[in-house]
A and B are shown apart, each in its own frame.
Chain A
Amino acid sequence: MNRRRFIAGMTAAGLTGTASAFSFFGLFGDDEPTAVELYPRRPLKASRRAFSVDESPTDEADAIGYTNFYEFGTEKGDAQRYGERFKPEPWRLTIDGECERPGDYTLEDILKPHPLEERIYRLRCVETWSMVIPWVGFPLADLLKRFAPTSRAKYVAFETLYDPEQMPGQRRAVVEWPYREGLRMDEAMHPLTLIAVGMYGETLPVQNGAPLRLVVPWKYGFKSIKSIVRIHFSEKLPVTTWNQLQPDEYGFYANVNPAVDHPRWSQARERPVGGWRRRDTLPFNGYAEEVAHLYHGMDLAKYF
């Protein structure tokens, strides 16, 4: 509504008449991708709501249509343009590395013991846009504890599915596949760190990382890896995709920090998706109270 009023104020009405005549050519970029359901979503019951911000969620169609998911293509709408062959079930996960109960698990095995919660989190992309999303999921810590990580497990590494048949964007080596992310053990065990299986009260859409993904609300969005097939406990710092591609632009930690700019753009402000105006970005994306202590004594400009 806002944006209509805004545009109405700055435009000459005559122009739109001509535009309507030409719009059917579809020549000038795609219209907004309205959320396409690529795989039937089921309603989810969340037992309670915890750690939620008091902000109104992003429009669901925007949250589904506007995603970076390079496995399907490098444009924002590519996940729903090219995601129709993706099958979120059946799904298997491999748990391995420094833990006492490694193995191959079905998605049902993974999810069964965990009651679901709804959490409304801020999401801040490294590209400076942001959203507010009602996730449905459970703490990653609860999942990791089941595999009894050993004392040598200092980090947790995650991998996205690699299957160019289902994810056609992987036919091009834009980044090195599979997509990899990782957390330090204390970050992984933090109560804010979530495994999400749904959003907006239903199972995850393909576009947002079905059937399960990571959500780390105080880090830039690329840390929150989608469509996970492997969780690996490791003693050494894991290789992570964006860090590997451009180490001077994307660090391992990638904590949201308005004071540390990306080399090519400022991170001081962000634009909430769906709107026209920017607002200030908060340290740790507004979760400083909960997580700042994890980085006590670290130079955040060096470990960005």
Chain B
Amino acid sequence: MKPLVFAAGMMPLSLLFWRAFNDTLGANPVESLIHETGLWALRLLLLTLAMTPLRRITGWPGWIRLRRMLGLYCFFYAVLHLTVYLWLDQELRLSAIIEDVIKRPYITVGAATFLMLTPLAATSFNRAIRWLGGKRWKQLHRLVYLCGLGAVIHYLWLVKADLAPPLMYLMILLGLLAFRIPPSLLRRLRGYSTGKLETKHERYQT
């Protein structure tokens, strides 16, 4: 399963190279590269977040073993996205880049999201987990939820008029985050609603 996921993760990049070689990146190749790498970073982040719910639904523990690779691929595409932005889009003009990060909220959020992803990628290997201790490692890696929100807001704020595509990703993200609502809170919510139903039911019986 793992080699398959590894190969699949290389596909978007391979395809971008293929299109670049064949001059089929479209009329605005830099824009295509920025959009594609950014979209794949976001998609892979959502896929990473889907592993825990998938394990819970299917009962197969193997999903979790894929999570690290998907997360690293997310970071990999985020690095490509950032590189294309800095190098091909801004042409490494430092003053323009600094101005962008400070003045444009969507760039600020994008930069912050990348900064939050970095420690997660840096502590993704087994020794880091041992070194941090499982609990602290887990706490740190909850940052990924914020990264998801950051990535979607970054996308939402750059759109000119049509909010439908980023909103679709937002909905998927919120669905995945809903799985993370702590069981205690969920139980309380559920208890409240079923309690209410029962009283109604009793009333009908009497």
Contact = CB atoms under 8 A, between A and B. Distances in A.
Given A7-B17, A7-B21, A20-B18, A29 B27 contact: no
Interface stretch (A115-123, A136-144, A268-276): A268-276
Interface stretch (A11-19, A183-191, A231-239): A11-19
A74 interface: yes
Contact of B106 (A3, A76, A264): A264
Q: Binding site of A, secondary structure by majority: helix, strand, loop or mixed?
A: loop
Q: Binding site of B, secondary structure by majority: helix, strand, loop or mixed?
A: helix
Contacts of B157: 264
Contacts, number: 105
Nearest to B157: A264
Interface string B24-47: 111111111000100000000000
A59 B18 CA distance: 21
A96 interface: no
Nearest to A31: B24
A132 to B, nearest CB: 13
A265 B104 contact: yes
A4 interface: yes
B11 interface: yes
A29 B47 CA distance: 18
Chain B contact patch, size range: 35 or more
Interface of A: 3-4, 7-8, 11, 15-16, 18-20, 22-23, 27-29, 31-33, 59, 62-63, 65-66, 70, 74, 76, 127, 129, 174-175, 245, 261, 263-266, 268-269, 271, 273-274, 276-278
Given A7-B20, A16-B18, A18-B11, 18 more contacts: A3-B23, A3-B29, A11-B20, A15-B13, A16-B17, A22-B15, A23-B15, A27-B11, A29-B36, A31-B19, A31-B24, A32-B19, A32-B24, A32-B27, A63-B27, A74-B162, A129-B28, A266-B100
